[in-house]
């Protein structure tokens, strides 16, 4: 991730978890603990292998998660949150609760035609 000035704390946080997939990977690792790639792919419904690989690399380079290679055959690699990543995952809890509380309304809004 390139160094740049941030104009707010939200800007700084979103530079790490911006987009749909990184936040969902972060949430699943917080909820389920260390996971192998295939397990994560099943937990993060709808993500493609290519996008998941990119998200994992980005989160690893931001010190949000750690990739542990067990140096075994067949390959065994696990991803887990760092303490820095766990602290970020905790900030997603209120957002998740808000989403659950408003899921019906959000679904209605998503199904409405886009205004131009």
- Tell me the domain boundaries of the chain: 9-111
Domain 9-111 indexed as CATH 3.40.50.80: no
Q: CA neighbours within 13 Å on the CB side: how many for 39?
A: 13
Confidence of residue 77 (pLDDT cuts 50, 70, 90): very high
Distance from C-alpha of 50 to C-alpha of 42, rounded to nearest angstrom: 14
pTM for the full model? Answer: 0.83
CA 15: distance to chain centroid? 12
Q: What residues form DSSP beta bridges with 78?
A: 36, 68
Q: Check: CB of residue 41 under 8 Å from CB of residue 52.
A: yes
User: In sequence order, what are the residues at sequence separation of 6 or more whose Cβ sits closer than 8 angstroms to the Cβ of residue 56?
Assistant: 25, 37, 40, 65, 67, 79
What's the pLDDT tens digit per position in 86-104? 999 999 999 889 999 999 9
């Amino acid at each position: 991730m390139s160094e740049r000035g941030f104009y707010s704390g939200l800007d700084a946080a979103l530079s790490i978890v911006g987009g749909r997939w990184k936040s969902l990977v972060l949430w699943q690792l917080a909820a389920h603990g260390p996971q192998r790639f295939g397990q994560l792919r099943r937990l993060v419904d709808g993500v493609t292998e290519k996008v998941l690989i990119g998200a994992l690399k980005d989160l690893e380079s931001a010190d949000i998660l750690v990739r542990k290679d067990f140096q075994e055959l067949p390959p065994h690699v696990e991803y887990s949150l760092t303490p820095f990543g766990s602290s970020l995952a905790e900030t997603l809890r209120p957002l998740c609760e808000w989403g659950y509380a408003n899921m019906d309304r959000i679904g209605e809004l998503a199904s409405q035609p886009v205004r131009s």
